[in-house]
Amino acid sequence: MALFQVSYSSQALQSQCGAYIVLPASGKPFRVVYLLHGYSGNHTDWVRLTGIVRYAEERRVMVVMPDGANAFYTDARGYPAKYEQHILETIRFIDDTFATIDSPAGRGIGGLSMGGYGAMKLGLKYPELFGSVASHSGVLDIAAAMRNNPDLQIHGIFGPEVPAEEDCFQLATRPGPKPAIYFDCGDEDFLIEHNRRFTAHLQQLGVEHVYREHPGAHTWEYWDCHVVEALDFHCRQFARLGSGSAASVCEKS
């Protein structure tokens, strides 16, 4: 197993940017999970505050943790930086640099809080890229967050109202294939109603998904505990889509 930080040039951000990568010792071509951090965090959070390195190695999955600043993984209306495009170019960089499975059969995306929103949005928006999406404590009702949050930055990102292509509720209504969907939230989390509204919305649409509530709040203790469930969910989807057997992809070494 290797853990390293890479620096690469981002045209979308017009600057250098960084990412942490967990690279298993075996398992080529690699199945990749992109893991997004939350608001006020950065690409080091998952490595510093969880056991993600060990969890990824046990499951022989490559994990890529890019930096999303506080931009909600969106091409902001009021700023030149384009963080949705940044994630897409990061995928191209990873596939050009490493021996990866360049298809939804070997690519998933997940995240927490702001990153949970980013993962769900990108997964629903680009099903041709992601076979699975997982969100922990996600800001899934971004329109409600806009209404309830006086923070000018979020309004600068989305404009006066959230565009349909940035709204998970609207994206879920799109016809066509969708990635496998998993999300969870702590029962003491201030975002619990976002997640309950979203599962009710998916149920009404008839969209298959897995939603779980667990004891806990908006804390790293919670996310460290439940990211393993998300990784296993991604692994099962990799196996289902034919990029490896359940025994070789999902089980711990």
Q: Is residue 251 part of a domain?
A: no
Structural domain containing residue 164: 2-243
Q: Is residue 104 part of a domain?
A: yes
Q: Is residue 214 part of a domain?
A: yes
- pLDDT value of position 78: 73
- pLDDT value of position 244: 54
The total domain count for the chain is 1
- pLDDT value of position 253: 32
Q: Give the torsion through C-alpha atoms of 137, 142, 147, 150, to 10 deg.
A: 70
Q: Is residue 252 part of a domain?
A: no
Measuring CA to CA, how many Å separate 100 from each of 54, 63, 91?
20, 11, 10
Residues 6+ apart with CB under 8 A from 32: 61, 62, 63, 64, 94, 100, 101, 106, 107, 108
The CATH number of residue 188's host domain is 3.40.50.1820
φ, ψ for residue 118 (rounded to 5)?
-60, -40
The low-confidence residues of the chain, meaning pLDDT below 70, are: 151-152, 243-253
Q: Is residue 253 part of a domain?
A: no
Q: Is residue 192 part of a domain?
A: yes
- pLDDT value of position 150: 74
- pLDDT value of position 57: 95
- pLDDT value of position 129: 98
